[in-house]
A and B are shown apart, each in its own frame.
Chain A
Amino acid sequence: DTAVSQTPKYLVTQMGNDKSIKCEQNLGHDTMYWYKQDSKKFLKIMFSYNNKELIINETVPNRFSPKSPDKAHLNLHINSLELGDSAVYFCASSQRAGRDSPLHFGNGTRLTVT
């Protein structure tokens, strides 16, 4: 049973296309996140949702739009893909937002924009 699952694992697409990455967690957690891991391996927070409400929205292009239909799902939609969007995107969840909750990660989606 995968606790945090994201699909697809690999995504290769051309510049200008629109694509979505899906994430689901079956842990009953209240908070979900999207992280981008760049070529230097730093993990950068993009968005965080707590009970379907956006609580963190870092400076990312508005081509990136998160959607949380319920607290078990947080999908990431990307419009007009650019070469610089190529990275590994990780979904994560934690029991509650903030201080002392361990993170549970999905396996990542490697996005390649050509």
Chain B
Amino acid sequence: KNEVEQSPQNLTAQEGEFITINCSYSVGISALHWLQQHPGGGIVSLFMLSSGKKKHGRLIATINIQEKHSSLHITASHPRDSAVYICAVRSVDSNYQLIWGAGTKLIIKP
């Protein structure tokens, strides 16, 4: 079992839908990262959070430290949101190295 699990693995939705991607982890962490990998391959950091909630445009990230769970939400989804979304945690149990989830492939259809 991976220390960082994302769900779903794949998600296809219609433009305008509200999207939720989940990340669960089993280690102690100092921070959790959400990143986006575009079809062209580039990786962009979206959020880094250690508690509560952060918002940037149509993207919202939340984390519940007690439940070891984070969600990434996309409101009013658009085809340009199509990408792989990756969760990574900075583990206090592994000398603060990043442990990566496998990613969630999101496709937004027009």
Residues of chain A having any CB pair with chain B under 8 Å: 40-45, 56, 88, 90, 92, 97-100, 102-105, 107-108, 110
Contacts and interface: CB of A to CB of B under 8 A. Distances in A.
12 contacts: A43-B88, A56-B97, A97-B96, A99-B31, A99-B90, A102-B33, A105-B43, A105-B45, A107-B40, A107-B41, A107-B42, A110-B41
Interface stretch (B20-28, B55-63, B67-75, B98-106): B98-106
A108 B42 contact: yes
A42 B90 CA distance: 15
A105 B48 contact: no
B83 interface: no
Given A99-B90, A105-B42, A41 B97 contact: no
Interface of B: 30-31, 33, 35, 40-45, 48, 50, 84, 86, 88, 90, 96-98, 100, 102-103
B30 A99 contact: yes
B103 A99 contact: no
Given A41-B102, A102-B33, 16 more contacts: A41-B103, A44-B100, A45-B97, A88-B41, A90-B43, A92-B43, A99-B30, A99-B31, A99-B90, A100-B30, A100-B31, A102-B45, A103-B35, A103-B45, A103-B98, A104-B45
